[in-house]
Structure 1
Amino acid sequence: MTAAEHADLQRWLAATAAIASAVNRPTALPALLDLVARTASELMGYDFCGVLLPDAHGRCLLIEGSFGLSTDYVRQVNERNPVTLRPSAQEPQAPSGRAYHSREPVRIADTFADEDFLPWGGVAREQGYRSMISVPLLSSGEAVGTLNCYRRQPHEYGAREVELLEMLADQAGVAITTARLRDREAATIADLRSSNASLEEQQELHRQGTRVHEQLTTVALRGGGVAGVARALADLLDRSVSVTDEPGGEPLATIGVHGPDGDGDIDVVEAPVRLGSVEVARIRVRGADRPLAPVEQRALEQAVTVCALELLRERTALEAEWRVSGEVVTDLLTGSASALQTVGERAARLGHDLDRPHAVLVLAGRTGEPATDHLLSVARGYAATATPRGLVTGLGTQVVLLWPATDPEEPRRHADRLRRLLLRARPDASVSVAVSPTCSARAEYPAAYRRARGAVELARLRGTDGVVTLDRLGVHGLLLQLEDVSQLAAFADSRLRPLRAHDEARGSALEATVRAYLHHDLSTAATAAALFVHPNTVGLRLRRAEELLGCSLTSVRALVELQVALSASEVLEAQTPSLR
C-alpha cells in the first residue's frame, strides 16, 4: 500500500470513527446528519452535500442535514419543491426519489445535458451545481434516506467513487437508525419517568386527600359546627377562612392564621354553600401569593359539603325552635286564655323570659306583596345571632318579632339594623318595620300588635318605608291606640259619606281631591300637580265638595273634622279585625 493510499485509508477510518463516536455520545439527529454531509464533502471533495429523510407521512424527502447548501436553498426545496416519493403517472421522479425506491445510486454527470433532470434545472442553477449523485442510506436493507452530493462542474462518478460513497452511506444509515432508536428510547424513558412522577404525585394527592377527608369527617362526626369546619380548613390550607350567612352576609365563623386581621382581601377565593338550589352561606379563603393547589381545592370542596351538612343540622334544630317560637308569638298576640297559661314556660325553654319588657316589631314589604321566605329567613337569621335574641313568626303578609327591651330605644335600634340587613340583600326592596310601645304584661301584647300592624299598614298604603313608631305618626298614632274603633268608624263614615256617595255615583274623585288638598297645606297648585289635573279642576272639585259637605274649606273647624275623618279612614283601612 502506497503512502497516499495509507493516508487516504486513515482519513476514511477517522471519518467513520467520528460518525460512530457521534452516535455513541449521543448526538442529536440534526447534528449527526450535518456531520455525515460534511464528512462526504471533505472526503470526496464535493462542493456541497445534503442528507434527505422521509417526512412523517412518508410522502416526500426533506433536506434534514447539509454542508455547503444555502439556507434559502434548503428552505425552498423543503417548502416548495420537496422530493415526492409517490409521484403521479405524469409526474417525473427526482433522482433522490429514484435512488430511495431503487436502493441504487443515481448519477447525473451534467445537469444541463441530462434530459431527465430538466424539471429541476432551475433549482440547480440557483444553487450553482452542474453534477450530482444520490446514494440511498440503507439500514437492514431498507432505505432510510439519501445522501446527495453536488459539484459545480460536470463530473463523471466512477465505480470506485460510488463504492466509497455507498460505504459511507451504509455507515450513515446505521448511525441514523441507531440515533432514532436512542431518541425513541430516551422518549420512552422520559415518558416512564413522567408517568412515575405522575403516579407519585397522585399517590401524594390521595394521601393528602385522605387526611383532608378524615379531618373534615371528624368535625362532622363531633358536631363541630360551622366554626369547626372553618378551623379545620384554615389548618389544612394555612390561610385565613371566614364563613358568612347568605344572603344577609352576617359572619358565622372567622379563623385568622396570620394575625387578628387575617390577610385582608388578597387572593380571596370564594365558594358558595348550598342547600338544594338555595345559597345559604359562603366560604372565603384569604392570603398567600399563589392559587390553591389541587389538593387544597379539593379540601375547599369537601369543606363546602361538610359546612352544608352542619348548616342543615343546625337548621333542622332551629326549625323546631322556630316552630315553638311561632306558637309562642301567636298565642301571645291572640291573647287566648288557655294558651297564655303555658306560654311563659314554653318561651323559657327557648331561653326567653316573658316577664321582661318586650316590644312588638311588625315587618312588611310593598302593599299586596306576600310574606316571602326571604323576609322570614333574614328575620330568623338576625334573631338567632342578635343579643338578646327575639321570637319570630310569620303572620300572613307580615313577619312579627317579639324583642326584649332592656331600654326603650333598643327595639328600635334592632328594627333599624334588621331593615338595613334586608335592604343589603335586596337593595331595590321596599321594607317597613313598625315598633310598638314596650309591653310589660302579657295581656298588653294583642293591643300592641294591633297598633304596630296598623302602623306598618299605614306606611305601606302611603307608599313610604322605614322604621315606624306610633309617636311619629301624629294623629294616626293616637287613633291607632283606640281600643273601640266603632265610634271612630261611625264618625268617619258620617263625615265622608256625601263625598263617597257622589264619587261612587258619578265616578268622580272628590274624596281623593280633598285628601290631597289637606295633605298639601291647602295649596291648589300643589294638589293639581299631585293629581295630574289642572288647578281649575281642583277648584271646581273643592267647591262641589263644599256643597255636599255643607261647610267651607276655609273654616278651621271644618278642616279639623275632615282631617280627623280622613285619618280615621286610613287607620280603619290599615287595621284588620283579626290575625291574618
Structure 2
Amino acid sequence: MSLTTDASSRAGTPAGVLAHVLRLLAEEAPADQLDVVAAQLRDPAVAPDERGVALLGRALADARRVRTLLDQRARREREMRVLVETARDLTSLRGTDELLRAIADRARQLLAGDSTYIALVEPATGDAVMRVTSGTRTPAIETVRQRPGLGVGGYVIQTGQPLATTDYRRDARLRRDPAVAAAVADEGFVSMVGVPIKLGTAVLGALFAATRRRHTFGQGEIALLSSLAGHAAVVLENARLYERVQEASHELRATNARLRAQGEALQRAGRAHERLMPMALHRVGLLEFADTVARILDGTVVVLSGDGRVLGQAAVPGAPPPLAVLTGPPPGAVVRAVPIGAGREAFGRLLFARCGPLSDTDERTLERAAQTAALLLVMQRQTSLVEQELRAELVQDLVAEQPPSWPVFHRRVRRLGAVDFALPHSVLVLSGQEVPRRRLLDAAVRFAARRGGIVGEHAGHAVALVPGTDAAALARAAAADLAAATGHPVTAGAAGPADSAEAVRDLHRAAARCHRLLLALGRAGDGAALPELGVLGSLLEEASAAQVGHQVERALGPLLRYDRAHGSQLVQTLDRYYAAGQNPPTVAQRLGVHVNTVYQRLDRIDQVLGSRSWRAPRGALELQVALQLHRLRGDPAEPPAPADPAALPGPARR
C-alpha cells in the first residue's frame, strides 16, 4: 500500500502518514516498505509542509528502530525456540549421534550457513575427529582428523576459545594441515567459525559453521553457536554418564547373578549336607548313594573301587550315561574324578559328569560326597570283616579236630544265614607258597563269595566251602582265579560234593589229602580233586614230594635220561606196552609204527635198564607205579621222536 492509495495520505497530512506507518508495523511488514514511505515523503506532490516532513522523518526513524527490535525479538524467539527444542531433545532417549546431528542441523538453520559439523577429541591422541556433519557435499570432509594446534579446530580444541575466520585459506593466524586444507577446498568453504564444546574446563570437541561465500560471523552468531555447543556438551556428558550407568547396571546385574548363583549354590550345598550325612548314619548302599548325589548335583555319578570295579552308578535325565563317563568324556560334558580315601588308605574314585560348568560349591559338594562314600565303604568293610570273621569261625569249627556240637552249630548257621548245607557243597583247601596269608584269604573270600560260599582257615591253609557238584572244576577255577588275584601260584585240592554239614566235615580231610598229594607230586599252582589222582591218591597220602621224586627216578630215571639225550620215545613205548597188556602188535597199532620198531625199542629198554626184570610181574608193577606218578606230577611228555626212531642202534627183532 502507498501514500497515493490511502485516504489520509492523499490529504498529505502527517496523521495519515503516521497511520500508514503504524499499520505497516502492525502487519509486520518488511523494513524495505518503510523505505518506500520515506522515498514518497521526498516527493513534492505528496509531501506536507516542512514541519510535517521533519515530524514524519522522526516517526519513520522510530518505526525503523521498532522494526529492528521486532526482527531481533523474532530472531531471539527463534533462537530460544531452537534452544528449548534442543534442551527437550536432551531428555529424550535418542542416540548420541542422532542428538549431535540434530544440533548441527539447527545451528545451520539458525545461522543460515552452508554447513555445520561437530568434531570430538580422541582421548588417546588429542586429535579432533569428525563425528557428525550437516550440509556437507564431499566424503573427505566427513573423515577429517585435525591435530591439536592446526586449523580452526586444532586452535579451538587446544585453547578452549572460539575462532572465526572470514577467509580460511588466506588467514595468516592459521597453521593448516595439507590434508584438511584440501578437504576444505574440495568442499568449497570460505568462511568458518568454531566454538569449543566444554564440560567445565575440559574441551570435549568443537562445533563449526562454514559458508561457501565470504561472511563475517558476528558475536551474536558466535554466542548462539556457543549455546548450542553447550547443549552438545550436555549430550556428550549424558552419553558418558549413560555409559557409566550401563556399565554399573551391567556390573550390578552380573553381581546379582553371581550372588544369586552363590545363594543357590549355598542352598544346594546345605541340601547336600542334609542329605549326605543321614546316608552315612543309615549306612545306605552305594547305589542309593550314587542316585542321591546325581540328583543333588544334577549329573551322572559312578563309584569305582580301587581295582576299577563299578560299585554304584546313577544319572539324572539328560545327563551323560555312566558308560560314556567310564569310556571317555562325552562331548561338551565336564568330568571330575575325586579320590575316595580315609587317611592314607585309598578305596577308589568318585566320577561325576554333567553338561555344564561346576561352581566352587559344586566342587566342594563333590569332595564332601567322596568323604561320605569313603565312610560308607569303611563301614561296609567293617561290617564285611565282622561277617567274614563269623563265617571263618564257622568253617574253623566245622573242620576242627573235634567235631562241633551239632545243634549249636546248626543254630549258628541259621542265625548267620551264610550257607545252606541242604545244597551240594564241595570243599577246597588252598595254599600259595609266595602269597601272604591275609592276601590269600581275601582273594579266597572274593572267589567264594561270587559263588555263594564261605572261607575259613585251618592248619595254615585257606578252606573254602563252595556250592557245586564238580569239585575238580572248582579246584581248577580257584587255582586260576587266586593266581591272577595274588600274582603268585596257588594250589587247590578239592573234594565233594556233600549235602550236609556232617558230610562236608568229612570232605575236608579228602580235600586236604588231595592238596598234599598235589604238592608231593610237584604240582604246586595246580587244582584237582582226589579222584583225578587215582588209586595212588590213597596209597601216597603221606608221601612227600622228595619221596615221589625218588621213586620216579629210581624206576624211570635211566629211561628218562636216555630219551632226553637221544630224542627217543622209550618211556612212552613202555607206558603203551603195559596199557596194551604187553602185546607189541597192539602197541605198534596205537603208536602208529611198525611192529619191528616196537621190538627194537623194547630191546633198547633192556639195554638201558641193564636187565629184563621189568618184564616180570614185580618189576612191571614197580615201573607202572613210577609211570603213573610221572603222569600225576604233570612232567612234560618225552621229546619228539627223530624222523626214523627205528634207526637207533641195537639188535633187530623179527
Structure 1 and Structure 2 fold alike (TM over 0.5):
yes
Give 1:99 shift: 1.9
Equivalent residue of 2:94, what SS? coil
Aligned to 1:12, which of 79, 89, 105?
79
Residues 1:567 and 2:625 are matched in the alignment: no
Q: Deviations over 1:196-253 (max 9, x none)?
A: 454344334323321221122222233334355345446646888775656363555x
Residues 1:104 and 2:161 are matched in the alignment: yes
Aligned to 1:53, which of 121, 128, 136?
121
Q: 1:309/1:126 Cα in 2 relative to 1: closer, same or farther (>3 Å)? A: farther
Point out where structure 1 has 5 or more consecutive residues left out of the alignment.
86-91, 504-508, 522-543, 573-580
Higher mean C-alpha deviation, range 263-272 or range 129-138: 263-272
1:388 aligned partner, one-letter code: G
Residues 1:32 and 2:99 are matched in the alignment: yes
Q: Is the 8 A contact 1:363 1:456 kept in 2?
A: no
2:454 aligned partner, one-letter code: G
Q: 1:432/1:128 Cα in 2 relative to 1: closer, same or farther (>3 Å)? A: farther
Q: Is the 8 A contact 1:137 1:144 kept in 2?
A: yes
Higher mean C-alpha deviation, range 374-383 or range 156-165: 374-383
Q: Is the 8 A contact 1:112 1:118 kept in 2?
A: no
What is the alpha-carbon distance in structure 1 between the residues aligned to residue 347 and residue 522 of structure 2?
31
Q: 1:98/1:126 Cα in 2 relative to 1: closer, same or farther (>3 Å)? A: closer
Q: 1:459/1:388 Cα in 2 relative to 1: closer, same or farther (>3 Å)? A: farther
Match of 1:529 in 2: none
Q: Is the 8 A contact 2:101 2:134 kept in 1?
A: yes
Equivalent residue of 1:484, what SS? coil
Residues 1:181 and 2:241 are matched in the alignment: yes
Match of 1:391 in 2: 455
What is the alpha-carbon distance in structure 2 between the residues aligned to residue 279 and residue 235 of structure 1?
23
Q: 1:198/1:560 Cα in 2 relative to 1: closer, same or farther (>3 Å)? A: same
Aligned to 1:493, which of 543, 553, 558?
553
What is the alpha-carbon distance in structure 2 between the residues aligned to residue 182 and residue 12 of structure 1?
28
What is the alpha-carbon distance in structure 2 between the residues aligned to residue 75 and residue 422 of structure 1?
89
Equivalent residue of 1:49, what SS? strand
Residues 1:448 and 2:515 are matched in the alignment: no
1:99 aligned partner, one-letter code: V
Give 1:43 shift: 3.9
Q: Is the 8 A contact 1:361 1:433 kept in 2?
A: no
1:116 aligned partner, one-letter code: R
Residues 1:308 and 2:374 are matched in the alignment: yes
Q: Is the 8 A contact 2:79 2:224 kept in 1?
A: no
Give 1:193 shift: 4.6
Give 1:105 shift: 2.5
Q: 1:38/1:214 Cα in 2 relative to 1: closer, same or farther (>3 Å)? A: same
Residues 1:337 and 2:337 are matched in the alignment: no
What is the alpha-carbon distance in structure 2 between the residues aligned to residue 233 and residue 257 of structure 1?
10
Give 1:567 shift: 3.1
Q: TM-score under structure 2 normalisation?
A: 0.58
Give 1:458 shift: 9.9
What is the alpha-carbon distance in structure 2 between the residues aligned to residue 271 and residue 30 of structure 1?
55
Q: 1:143/1:492 Cα in 2 relative to 1: closer, same or farther (>3 Å)? A: same
What is the alpha-carbon distance in structure 2 between the residues aligned to residue 545 and residue 75 of structure 1?
120
Give 1:30 shift: 3.6
Q: Deviations over 1:524-572 (max 9, x none)?
A: xxxxxxxxxxxxxxxxxxxx999866799xx9x9998886454344479
What is the alpha-carbon distance in structure 1 between the residues aligned to residue 237 and residue 426 of structure 2?
94
Give 1:61 shift: 4.3
Q: Deviations over 1:479-520 (max 9, x none)?
A: 6775233553322222454488899xxxxx7499979999xx
Residues 1:219 and 2:282 are matched in the alignment: no
Q: 1:69/1:201 Cα in 2 relative to 1: closer, same or farther (>3 Å)? A: farther
Q: Is the 8 A contact 2:107 2:228 kept in 1?
A: yes
Q: Is the 8 A contact 1:359 1:438 kept in 2?
A: yes
Match of 1:205 in 2: 265
1:20 aligned partner, one-letter code: A
Equivalent residue of 1:437, what SS? strand
Match of 1:278 in 2: 346
Point out where structure 2 has 5 or more consecutive residues left out of the alignment.
1-67, 326-334, 498-502, 577-603, 637-654
1:12 aligned partner, one-letter code: E
Q: Is the 8 A contact 1:434 1:456 kept in 2?
A: no
Equivalent residue of 1:388, what SS? coil
List aligned pairs for 1:75-154, cutoff 5 A.
83=146, 93=150, 95-107=152-164, 112-113=169-170, 116-121=175-180, 124=183, 128=187, 130=189, 132-149=192-209
Equivalent residue of 2:196, what SS? strand
Give 1:137 shift: 0.7
Q: 1:353/1:277 Cα in 2 relative to 1: closer, same or farther (>3 Å)? A: closer
2:200 aligned partner, one-letter code: S
What is the alpha-carbon distance in structure 2 between the residues aligned to residue 339 and residue 84 of structure 1?
113
Give 1:150 shift: 5.2
What is the alpha-carbon distance in structure 2 between the residues aligned to residue 111 and residue 545 of structure 1?
135
Q: 1:565/1:477 Cα in 2 relative to 1: closer, same or farther (>3 Å)? A: closer
1:448 aligned partner, one-letter code: A
Give 1:169 shift: 0.9
Match of 1:318 in 2: 384
Q: 1:125/1:185 Cα in 2 relative to 1: closer, same or farther (>3 Å)? A: closer
Bigger RCO of structures 1 and 2 (CA < 8 A, at least 6 apart):
1
Report how many aligned residue pairs link the two structures.
506
Give 1:256 shift: 8.5
Give 1:52 shift: 0.8
Match of 2:309 in 1: 249
Q: Is the 8 A contact 1:233 1:299 kept in 2?
A: no
Q: 1:285/1:50 Cα in 2 relative to 1: closer, same or farther (>3 Å)? A: closer
Equivalent residue of 2:283, what SS? coil
Q: Deviations over 1:306-360 (max 9, x none)?
A: 122111121133234445656776x589x76379899969985754459665434
Q: TM-score under structure 1 normalisation?
A: 0.64
Higher mean C-alpha deviation, range 433-442 or range 211-220: 433-442
Q: Is the 8 A contact 2:294 2:314 kept in 1?
A: yes
Q: 1:415/1:65 Cα in 2 relative to 1: closer, same or farther (>3 Å)? A: farther
1:49 aligned partner, one-letter code: Y
Q: Is the 8 A contact 1:69 1:127 kept in 2?
A: no
2:119 aligned partner, one-letter code: V
RMSD: 5.9
Q: 1:241/1:218 Cα in 2 relative to 1: closer, same or farther (>3 Å)? A: same
Equivalent residue of 2:176, what SS? helix
What is the alpha-carbon distance in structure 2 between the residues aligned to residue 489 and residue 47 of structure 1?
122
Match of 1:438 in 2: 496
Give 1:448 shift: 1.7
1:489 aligned partner, one-letter code: G
Q: Deviations over 1:385-421 (max 9, x none)?
A: x47342267999xx9561332x415995898699799
1:120 aligned partner, one-letter code: A
What is the alpha-carbon distance in structure 1 between the residues aligned to residue 428 and residue 301 of structure 2?
35
Q: 1:157/1:346 Cα in 2 relative to 1: closer, same or farther (>3 Å)? A: farther
What is the alpha-carbon distance in structure 2 between the residues aligned to residue 346 and residue 510 of structure 1?
64
1:214 aligned partner, one-letter code: E
Equivalent residue of 1:25, what SS? coil
Aligned to 2:469, which of 381, 405, 408?
408
Higher mean C-alpha deviation, range 187-196 or range 152-161: 152-161
